[in-house]
């Protein structure tokens, strides 16, 4: 019988954070050598292997199952929970046909959570199959199972299925309501429509007979919905409800940040500044929300001052913070300040410029009419520019009437599109039309005609546009 000393050392190590892969392998070897088959110890070992997130190392976590004659459900669930989302889905799909394990509600919660974190078209299909299996085996009694399914559908942009599942639930917790409200607020397409649905659902929550009370998470989501709608009266009413009923103070870092964001986007910059100045604790999201509000209202110099205040408070800006700062420079026409910021952000703040930052600088130079400088800036970028940057510059060339630079950029765009293996003809037609408009603005009609002929020869059809005409019923007047 193995002594207790190896077990004690193994427990001590597994409860600490391993420093390297070598250390984890050492403790794995100790478990094998001493014949220790404790599920709790092996679960810790799986967690450490998965935390390393290396393909070869993750395979060692799968080997842990070899210690048992029959697969251990607890260890299987641990592997599903701790692995990377795609690995979790692959493991689950591998074991489904074997029928060696009878899955429980925790298995489905973890694998649906993995499907939510790895949102894609294929993941949506897999998640629907898992949902069908859940219904078949009747494991919906745990309220977290349908709640996680709602979260999964919302993350994969299937809000209709999420709402259908939500409406079918006989019992809902605050987590369930939050999952559905958050699902509405997280949709990029038709965001205003879904934001309105989120507010209506919040109203239903308040009058629900089950008496589930909104939490601070609920109110942060509702404030996000109000900010997407941009209606100040709605946002102010939500703020008043928070003051009266929610125990979390409004100067809480998350609640305060949401209020700053809401008031800024609803047009009340003074209210946003008032809440911002009253907050006892601020994180990088708070400061970024404030710079975003200042940028929206054209307060470029004040937004740059916020960056200095962040530095004084020991808060390091992130990539999103700089995106809002460059946007502020664009709205205020601060060309010199924007160029200085993009050249110093890596050295001074440790944030390397990304494509969206370069895009903001091109937009800044284009708005100011510095088209040649914008062209040279794109050419000198350390990363390959995408077509969005060139289209932004082409639009600026048309606006300022710079036909020479516009022609150069337009032809370059067409060349980039022709080099793609399967170009999108709709997008390609937009580039043709944009260059054609540049020629037309200079009355170079022969070039316009030649470009149109080239479109026909290449099979590029212009995307049809449409107009909405209101129909008035005269009988009702």
- pLDDT in single tens digits along all 477 residues of the chain: 444 445 545 555 555 555 556 666 666 666 666 656 667 777 777 777 777 765 555 566 666 666 666 778 888 888 888 888 888 898 888 888 877 788 899 999 999 999 999 888 888 999 999 999 999 888 888 999 999 999 999 999 999 999 999 999 989 999 999 999 999 998 888 888 999 999 999 999 998 877 888 988 999 999 999 999 988 999 999 999 998 887 766 668 999 999 999 999 999 999 999 999 999 889 999 999 999 999 999 899 999 999 999 989 999 999 999 999 999 999 898 999 999 999 999 999 999 999 999 999 999 999 999 999 999 999 899 888 888 888 889 889 888 888 888 888 888 888 877 766 545 555 567 778 888 888 887 778 888 888 888 777 777 766 666 666 666 555 554
Q: Classify burial at 51, counting beta carbons within 10 Å of its beta carbon; exposed 0-12, middle 13-18, buried 19 or more.
A: middle
The pTM score is: 0.78
Beta strands in 46-94 (DSSP E): none
SS3 199: helix
Domain ranges for the chain, please list them.
374-464
Residue 183: per-residue pLDDT: 94
Burial 376-399 (b: 16+ CB within 10 A, else e): ebbeeeeeebeeebbbbbbbbbbe
The contacts found for 250-255 with CB under 8 angstroms, 24 or more apart, are 250/275, 251/275, 251/278, 251/279, 251/280, 251/281, 252/216, 252/281, 253/279, 253/281, 253/282, 253/283, 253/286, 254/216, 254/220, 255/216, 255/219, 255/220, 255/223
Tell me how far apart the alpha carbons of residues 342 and 361 are, in angstroms, rounded to a whole number. Answer: 8
Give the model's pLDDT for residue 19.
54
| Cβ-count burial 295-331 (b if 16+ within 10 Å, e if not) | bbbebbebbbebbeebeeeebebeebbbbbbbbbbbb
């Amino acid at each position: 019988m193995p002594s207790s000393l190896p077990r004690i050392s193994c427990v001590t190590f597994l409860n600490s954070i391993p420093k390297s892969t070598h250390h984890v392998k050492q403790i794995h070897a100790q478990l094998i050598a001493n014949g220790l088959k404790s599920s709790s110890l092996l679960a810790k070992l799986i967690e450490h292997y998965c935390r390393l997130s290396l393909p070869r190392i993750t395979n060692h976590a799968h080997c842990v199952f070899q210690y048992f004659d029959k697969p251990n459900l607890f260890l299987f669930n641990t592997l599903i929970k701790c692995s990377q989302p795609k690995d979790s889905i692959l493991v689950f799909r591998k074991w489904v046909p074997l029928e060696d394990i009878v899955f429980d509600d925790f298995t489905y919660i973890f694998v649906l959570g993995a499907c939510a974190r790895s949102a894609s078209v294929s993941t949506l299909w897999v998640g629907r199959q898992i949902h069908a299996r859940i219904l078949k085996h009747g494991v919906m009694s745990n309220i977290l199972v349908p709640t996680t399914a709602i979260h999964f559908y919302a993350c994969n942009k299937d809000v209709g299925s999420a709402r259908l599942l939500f409406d079918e639930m006989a019992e809902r917790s605050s987590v369930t309501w939050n999952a559905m409200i958050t699902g509405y607020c997280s949709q990029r397409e038709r965001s205003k429509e879904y934001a309105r649905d989120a507010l209506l659902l919040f109203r239903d929550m308040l009058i629900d007979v089950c008496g589930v009370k909104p939490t601070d998470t609920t109110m942060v989501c509702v404030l996000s919905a109000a900010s997407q709608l941009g209606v100040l009266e709605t946002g102010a009413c939500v703020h008043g409800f928070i003051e009266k009923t929610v125990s979390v103070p409004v100067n809480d870092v998350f609640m305060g940040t949401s209020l700053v964001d809401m008031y800024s986007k609803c047009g009340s910059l003074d209210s946003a500044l008032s809440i911002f100045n009253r907050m006892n604790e601020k994180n990088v999201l708070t400061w970024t929300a404030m710079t975003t509000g200042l940028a929206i209202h054209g307060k470029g110099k004040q937004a740059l001052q916020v960056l200095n205040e962040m530095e004084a408070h020991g808060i390091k800006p992130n990539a999103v913070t700089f995106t809002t700062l460059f946007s502020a420079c664009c709205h205020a026409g601060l060309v010199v300040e924007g160029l200085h910021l993009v050249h110093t952000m890596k050295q001074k703040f440790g944030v390397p410029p990304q494509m969206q930052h370069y895009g903001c600088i091109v937009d800044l130079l284009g708005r100011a009419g510095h088209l040649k400088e914008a062209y040279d800036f794109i050419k000198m970028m350390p990363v390959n520019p995408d077509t969005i940057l060139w289209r932004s510059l082409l639009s600026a060339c048309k606006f300022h009437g710079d036909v020479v630079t516009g022609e150069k950029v337009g032809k370059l765009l067409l060349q980039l599109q022709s080099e793609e293996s399967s170009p999108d003809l709709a997008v390609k037609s937009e580039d043709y039309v944009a260059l054609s408009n540049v020629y037309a603005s200079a009355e170079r009609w022969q070039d316009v005609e030649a470009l149109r002929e080239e479109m026909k020869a290449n099979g590029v059809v212009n995307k049809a546009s449409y107009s909405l005409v209101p129909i008035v019923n005269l009988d009702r007047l």
